[in-house]
């Protein structure tokens, strides 16, 4: 099948965007010479830059491919030193973040009301413990930094199997939701739970870590985050991201409340839109160095409805930063856009390896060691390179 055939056919079940990205990647990785390879990528982009007749759907998907190619080609080449490479992500090209002007209207004993209409219930809020600092690492130096505020949001589902959302089940739905919120509170499992009726329960205060992300990796343009209980807030929809019909079993009120909650949290903590992501995007398995140990919201997350960009497209930081791999079960579950994020991550990884004159396997090994160094607080200093440290005082 030629590229042109794929381009012209917007009705194909498999996303042309993904197919094209795979074709480009597949071809490009067979070109040994980096200059020749770059030329190939450029000419591919020029070809797709033409405007063939196609459906709006195909257009949208091609837009994804263009973003992917622009991303693969135009990013700055990091200095080759010890491999602690400055990394860039797709957010580098995004426009500056705008934050809503939201304030607390009433902080009552049993709830907090915010000016955008969000009401947060305190009935299942865990008792405060000592506030802890949140942590992140600079990409350019590897230095660890702390601050009191969270840096992002990880979205989850509780995976609870509750009753059908209809009036006759009111009692069951309410009791099930409160049971879930109480359990989450006892486990300090997320910061917020949103039930089927859109009620938002704060279960852990925002200035404390919650046990929601486990082994996990994310990065923005300046920082990376590892084991993100201590970096990001956890917000969980009570329901399943893959319900009985394969689609998310979340309700319209849940989505509306999630939008308001996201707006409040982003505004209060100045959280960039690019750091609002799903558990499936950040979760990793450190025993086999694979992404997607947890797969909630691997597909179907309503980014746009929450006022967010489709962050599935971000080249997966676990791959680009630490060389994690992925298995078929993960890409089979993943949304088309997340598959694009995986492909873009893989392409960047291979390019970075090539710049260092390493095989991809050798470079992955190097990055895996880097990951272990970051995980071990006694060793993370060794992560920075001497020249970089001295020039960044």
The site for Zn ion (CB under 5 A) is made up of 156, 279, 294, 296
- In whole angstroms, the minimum distance from the beta carbon of 367 to Zn ion comes to 24
Nearer to Zn ion, 184 or 342 (CB): 184
Nearer to Zn ion, 88 or 279 (CB): 279
Nearer to Zn ion, 195 or 352 (CB): 195
Phi, psi torsion values for 104, nearest 5 degrees: -80, 125
Nearer to Zn ion, 202 or 279 (CB): 279
- In whole angstroms, the minimum distance from the beta carbon of 341 to Zn ion comes to 18
Nearer to Zn ion, 301 or 363 (CB): 301
Nearer to Zn ion, 121 or 296 (CB): 296
Question: Please, are residues 102 and 116 in contact by the beta-carbon 8 Å criterion?
Answer: yes
Q: Cα dist. 102→20, 68, 207 in Å?
A: 42, 35, 18
- In whole angstroms, the minimum distance from the beta carbon of 59 to Zn ion comes to 34
Nearer to Zn ion, 65 or 282 (CB): 282
- In whole angstroms, the minimum distance from the beta carbon of 104 to Zn ion comes to 28
Q: Give the angle 94-236-283 at the CA atoms, nearest 5°.
A: 65
- In whole angstroms, the minimum distance from the beta carbon of 298 to Zn ion comes to 11
């Amino acid at each position: 099948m030629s590229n042109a055939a794929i381009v012209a056919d917007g009705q194909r079940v498999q996303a042309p965007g993904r197919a094209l990205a795979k074709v480009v990647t597949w071809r490009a990785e067979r070109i040994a010479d980096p200059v020749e390879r770059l030329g190939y990528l450029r000419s591919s982009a020029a070809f797709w830059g033409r405007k063939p007749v196609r459906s709006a759907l195909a257009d949208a998907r091609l837009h994804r491919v263009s973003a992917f190619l622009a991303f693969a080609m135009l990013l700055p080449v990091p200095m080759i030193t010890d491999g602690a490479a400055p990394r860039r992500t797709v957010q580098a090209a995004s426009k500056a973040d705008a934050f809503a002007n939201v304030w607390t209207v009433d902080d009552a004993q049993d709830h907090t009301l915010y000016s955008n209409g969000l009401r947060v219930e305190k009935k299942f809020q865990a008792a405060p413990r000592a506030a802890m600092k949140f942590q992140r690492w600079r990409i350019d130096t590897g230095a660890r930094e702390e601050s009191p505020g969270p840096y992002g949001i990880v979205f989850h589902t509780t995976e609870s199997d509750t009753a059908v959302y209809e009036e006759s089940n009111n009692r069951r739905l309410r009791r099930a939701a409160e049971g879930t919120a109480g359990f989450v509170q006892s486990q300090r499992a997320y910061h917020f739970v949103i039930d089927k009726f859109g009620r938002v329960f704060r279960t852990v205060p925002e200035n404390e870590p919650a046990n929601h992300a486990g082994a996990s990796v994310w990065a923005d343009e300046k920082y990376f985050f590892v084991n993100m209980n201590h970096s990001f807030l956890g917000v969980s929809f009570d329901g399943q991201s893959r319900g009985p019909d394969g689609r998310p079993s979340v309700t319209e009120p849940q989505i509306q409340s999630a939008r308001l909650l996201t707006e409040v949290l982003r505004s209060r903590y100045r959280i960039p839109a690019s750091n609002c992501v799903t558990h499936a995007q950040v979760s990793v398995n450190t025993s086999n160095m694979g992404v997607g140990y947890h797969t909630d919201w691997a597909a179907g997350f309503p980014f746009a409805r929450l006022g967010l960009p489709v962050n599935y497209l971000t080249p997966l930081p676990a791959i680009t930063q630490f060389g994690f791999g992925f298995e078929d079960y993960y890409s089979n579950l993943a949304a088309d856009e997340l598959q694009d994020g995986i492909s873009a991550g893989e392409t960047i990884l291979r390019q970075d390896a090539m710049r260092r004159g390493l095989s991809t396997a050798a470079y992955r090994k190097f990055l895996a060691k880097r990951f272990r160094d970051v995980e071990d607080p006694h060793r993370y200093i060794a992560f920075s390179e001497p020249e970089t440290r001295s020039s960044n005082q």
